Amino acid sequence: MTEVSAGVRYSLKGLDGVAPSASSVVELIDRQCARTPGAVAVAMATAVSGAERRIGYAELAGDVARLARRLRQEGVGPGRVVGVSAERSPELVVALLAVLKAGGAFLYLDPALPAERLGFMVEDADAALVLGPQGFAGRPVLPLDAQPVAGEVEEAAVAPGDLAYVIYTSGSTGRPKGILVEHAGLLNYVEWLVTEFVAAGKPVTSLLHSPLGFDFSLSSLFLPLVTGGELRLAPVEFEHESLAEAIQDQTLDLVRLTPSHIEVLRAALDGRCDLPGARVLLIGGEVLRAGQVAALRALFPSASLYNHYGPAEAVVGRCFQRLDESEEFRLAGYAPGDPLPVGRPIPRTELVVEQGPDGAGELLIGGLGLARGYLNLPELTASSFVRSEPDGRVFYRTGDQAAVDAQGRLTVLGRADDQVKVRGYRVELGEIEAALRAVDGVRAAAVVRTVRPQEALWAFVVGLGQSRLDEPELRAELQRRLPAYMVPHRLLALDALPLSANRKLDRAALLAEAERIGLAATVDKVPSVGGGRLAEAYRACAQVLGVAEVRPTDNFLALGGDSITAMKLAAACRRLGIGLRSVRVLATDTLAEAFAGIEN
């Protein structure tokens, strides 16, 4: 490992905290199952009927023990990785907990990801087997309802330093990288959640509505189960309109959101304000700005808002700031576009800012919550997890630029490299570029992220020789290789990529070109599709996308659309008296299909 720079200027340390009360989170859940066997542990609304499936703590304990015993019989134990492939469901919760109880580490395999990517993850992690309906990379498959076979099984002894889970994130080299998280770090984080968000011993009820491949979701997963509360699972088909309604349930204690969700909620609620809401809204995954908090306060004035920050390499979150008005925080002191403080570190965490002349610098994180490192990437681990002298403590270089204000609070300002955030997910532009270059007929590619006139990923592609790039085919190939949130909104062909004076890729020039094209397309022009309500729908689509014109054969995503703009389009159509679901806009190939049924 390399060393922390001698130029360190500012350090924030969390409280020492109390000694861990267990060896693992699953031990805390076992105790809760014994205390409240009759309480509801997991509930899930079905998308079709709206009825709920519920399992109690006693049933949860029995199902987890049964599956854990079978996993032990299959050789799962400390250090063994088990892939878990299932849609969001009570069975998924049982499977994840069973892997932990058996002493293994879970690797969540989101069925929504491309099969090629899932296969790489399973092989890279050397998964012992896969729990779920299908296997990957030739690994053995075990159904989620597998029963133990006859015979004695030794109980697994889970140590704090054992591996708890492996989670993959975007990699700049073109391949996703696996992060190795130990039980001690996960336990430290969950016990902090209990300390901060459990009021007078009251069980916590949370809503889990985002994929578990996003470590941000682990707060919602574990906190209710260690407090005797109810874990509510949103159906996979959960639409943004449904989130806007669900979050108004005052029996919810905790809902996690990204700043992107705030825009979704505003669009879905379409001007409605002063609504009831969950007790706590925990926000993270991207830089949170003052204007977004003002909007969220207007929507749900009774909710307590927290800004929460931390990379996956440091177990979900390492610091937090309560955003209620107090002596410590005044929203009026910030302009709408200003990033808000992420506050101070949680217990057993140290934050270090290597300050430059302007007071800002790279943020490093140390303490109990650090990951073990990157799977099968020793050089990257050595350069990212560095030691301080003379005590040898390890810190993770986040790559995030940060500053500490006069109140001793940390504010994350953004990145100094090519990593970006898309809907809360960490995205390395280099991975998208590598996927583009791997497509036949592509000689070179570069990707930028715009913020004007809207946030979007733009890919600039240079073809081989005289070959013309087929955008639909190229987009389909990217969808086969990359998660949906990494597929560029716009694909543009160039004869050559621009270079700077020192012959390096000129990303600034590409960004300026993308913004020029985007801003030039914002002329309000009536699409040439006739009159009536259908024409109004096309006009609304052009306006929310910020383009001059749309055609029936256009693809919404290819025009730069995403879940937020789909919500805005649905809201605009509602104002026109046109019923349109955002999920339909995203799922159809052409606008003609999305608007089918709208009569003139």
Which of 238, 263, 279 is the last residue in one of the domains? 238
Tally of domains in the chain:
4
Q: What does each C-alpha distance from 570 to 362, 452, 552, 554, 579 come to in angstroms?
A: 41, 22, 17, 17, 8
- The answer on 328 and 280 residing in a single domain is yes
- The answer on 590 and 546 residing in a single domain is yes
583, 237 contact by CB (below 8 A): yes
Which of 417, 437, 471 is the last residue in one of the domains? 417
What is the pTM for the complete model shown?
A: 0.86
Cα three-residue angle 351-354-360, rounded to 5 degrees:
100
CATH number for the domain including 582? Answer: 1.10.1200.10
Q: What is the average pLDDT value for the chain, to the nearest integer? A: 87
Q: Is residue 489 part of a domain?
A: yes
**What is the tens place of the pLDDT at every residue in 3-27?**
655 444 567 776 676 567 788 999 9
Q: CA dihedral defined by 450, 451, 456, 457, rounded to 10 degrees?
A: 30
Would you place residue 522 in the very low, low, confident or very high pLDDT band (cuts 50, 70, 90)? very low
- The answer on 271 and 334 residing in a single domain is yes
**What is the tens place of the pLDDT at every residue in 525-543?**
444 555 688 888 998 998 8
- The answer on 465 and 505 residing in a single domain is yes
Model pLDDT, residue 3? 60
**What is the tens place of the pLDDT at every residue in 364-385?**
999 988 999 999 999 999 999 9
- The answer on 552 and 489 residing in a single domain is no
- The answer on 226 and 197 residing in a single domain is yes
E strand or H helix at 294: helix 290-299
Cα three-residue angle 563-265-91, rounded to 5 degrees:
70
CATH number for the domain including 280? Answer: 3.40.50.12780
CATH number for the domain including 476? Answer: 3.30.300.30
Residue 587 scores a pLDDT above 90: no
140, 505 contact by CB (below 8 A): no
Q: Is residue 381 part of a domain?
A: yes
- The answer on 96 and 2 residing in a single domain is no
CB atoms within 10 A of CB 125: 22
Which of 386, 417, 448 is the last residue in one of the domains? 417
**What is the tens place of the pLDDT at every residue in 537-563?**
998 998 888 777 888 888 887 777 877
- The answer on 589 and 557 residing in a single domain is yes
Domain that holds residue 47: 21-238
- The answer on 178 and 64 residing in a single domain is yes
